[in-house]
Structure 1
Amino acid sequence: MSIFDNLRGLFSSDMAIDLGTANTLIYVKGKGVVLSEPSVVAYHIKDGVKKVLAVGEDAKLMLGRTPGSIEAIRPMREGVIADFDTAEEMIKHFIRKVHKRST
């Protein structure tokens, strides 16, 4: 199962995503760019288990300012997905955020 199989149900045919190293953009046909946020995810790590704490702007604020049990990372490096699991969580979060705004 690929990262995109898990996300397929969240997409619509009129949505485009630009996964950038610094920022992620989501475009919706007829509305333009509806989301522009940093490509950053913050995790709390306990007993080897990662739990997402923040994504985007909130996670960016944590970069370099987190205690040892919290890690803020960028899943994209040089325009390529470097951490698939983290990128998947980030994409799901952003798509849900866009869908919540449109309902």
Structure 2
Amino acid sequence: MLFEWLFGMFSNDLAIDLGTANTLVYARDKGIVLSEPAVVAGKLEHGGVNRVVAVGSEAKKMLGRTPEHIVAIRPLKDGVIADFEATEAMLKYFI
């Protein structure tokens, strides 16, 4: 009981909703701390997206408006992860 209380004081409880359109992050005692579009823009190098240039709202502004060497994508499609690397980059940025 004491261990659980002590451990709880030093932990950050987060809940993440990976939605197809938006990603939400909920923090215990704070509520929703992030609500951003689930979009990642990255630079194309060596056949794939190697460098993320924008995530969330900034990346959404780039949808359909990027030069040839940059691609803006939604890494989640139809409720499942379609691009694991882009989803990982998005989560790292958000958290």
> Same fold judged by TM-score > 0.5?
yes
Identity in percent? 62
The TM-score with structure 2 as length reference comes to 0.83
Unaligned runs of 5+ in 1: 1-11, 96-103
Shift of 1:70: 0.5
CA–CA separation in structure 2 for the residues paired with 1:67 and 1:29: 40
- Which residue does 2:6 correspond to in 1? none
CA–CA separation in structure 2 for the residues paired with 1:76 and 1:54: 16
The TM-score with structure 1 as length reference comes to 0.77
Shift of 1:13: 4.9
Most deviating of 37-46 and 18-27: 37-46
Q: Runs ≥4 in structure 1, deviation > 4 angstroms?
A: none
CA–CA separation in structure 1 for the residues paired with 2:81 and 2:12: 23
CA–CA separation in structure 2 for the residues paired with 1:27 and 1:76: 19
- Which residue does 2:30 correspond to in 1? 31
Instruction: State yes or no: 1:54 paired with 2:31.
Output: no
Q: CA RMSD in A?
A: 1.2
How many correspondences in the alignment? 84
